């Protein structure tokens, strides 16, 4: 798994800057095919790190729709979500987090857009290996009826693999969006 993660991270990093912009814009087009957002929804995004596909066009679209957007913040070995504001600080991994008073748990989100390192046709994902999202979303495995948040993975097409080895703690995604497909 470690070798696969390294290979996929390198593929992601090898994408040139102009293609990155083009692919990020295509992500928004794909999302608009399946999305129907409502004003009172709470949606979490992420700030791209280590070559992840940039959700900035999705963020701008959501802002223009008046939808509350959040970013993950570290909370021990899991995540909470802070409303995006103007002030940020870097966490222990050097990733910016909002400094905000409006902090919520994952189960209070309607939609959670997640970065990933790799994915397969069954909507399984591998992340960076820290397990933060899986620990944060463990409640979804225990409560089969927990419909929120809807989990949407965002990735480049080159991150798809034939089949991932699934672990018992892995939380599958509801949807995966790439520049060319919606799974």
pLDDT at position 101 is 78
pLDDT tens-digit profile, the chain (183 residues): 899 999 999 999 999 999 999 999 999 999 999 988 888 899 999 999 999 999 999 999 999 999 999 999 999 999 999 999 999 999 999 999 999 779 999 999 999 999 999 999 999 999 999 999 999 999 998 877 778 999 999 999 999 999 999 999 999 999 999 999 999
Q: Is 140 helix (H, G, I), strand (E, B) or coil?
A: helix
d(CA 126, CA 132): 11
Q: Give the pTM.
A: 0.95
pLDDT at position 1 is 87
In this structure, are residues 174 and 123 in contact, taking their beta carbons and an 8 Å threshold?
yes
In this structure, are residues 48 and 55 in contact, taking their beta carbons and an 8 Å threshold?
yes
pLDDT at position 142 is 81
38-57 in b/e form (b: 16+ CB < 10 A) is eeebbbbbbbbeebbbbbbb
Order the strands of the 175-177 sheet from edge to edge: 103-104, 78-83, 68-75, 42-44, 111-115, 150-154, 175-177
Q: What is the DSSP letter of 55?
A: -
């Amino acid at each position: 798994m470690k070798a696969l993660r390294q290979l996929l991270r390198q593929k992601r990093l090898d994408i040139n800057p102009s293609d990155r912009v083009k692919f990020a814009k295509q992500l928004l087009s794909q999302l608009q095919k399946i999305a129907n957002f409502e004003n009172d929804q709470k949606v979490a995004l992420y700030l791209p790190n280590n070559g992840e596909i940039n959700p900035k066009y999705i963020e701008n679209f959501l802002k223009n729709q008046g939808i509350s957007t959040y970013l993950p913040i570290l909370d021990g070995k899991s995540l909470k979500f802070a409303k995006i504001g103007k002030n940020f600080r870097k966490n222990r991994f050097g990733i910016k987090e909002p400094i905000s008073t409006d902090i919520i748990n994952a189960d209070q989100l309607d939609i959670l857009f997640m970065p990933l390192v790799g994915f397969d046709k069954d909507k399984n994902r591998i992340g960076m290996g820290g397990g933060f999202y899986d620990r944060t979303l463990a409640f979804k495995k225990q409560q089969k009826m927990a419909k929120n948040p809807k989990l949407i993975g965002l990735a480049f097409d080159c991150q798809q693999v034939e089949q991932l080895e699934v672990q018992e703690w892995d939380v599958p995604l509801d949807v995966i969006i790439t520049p060319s497909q919606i799974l």
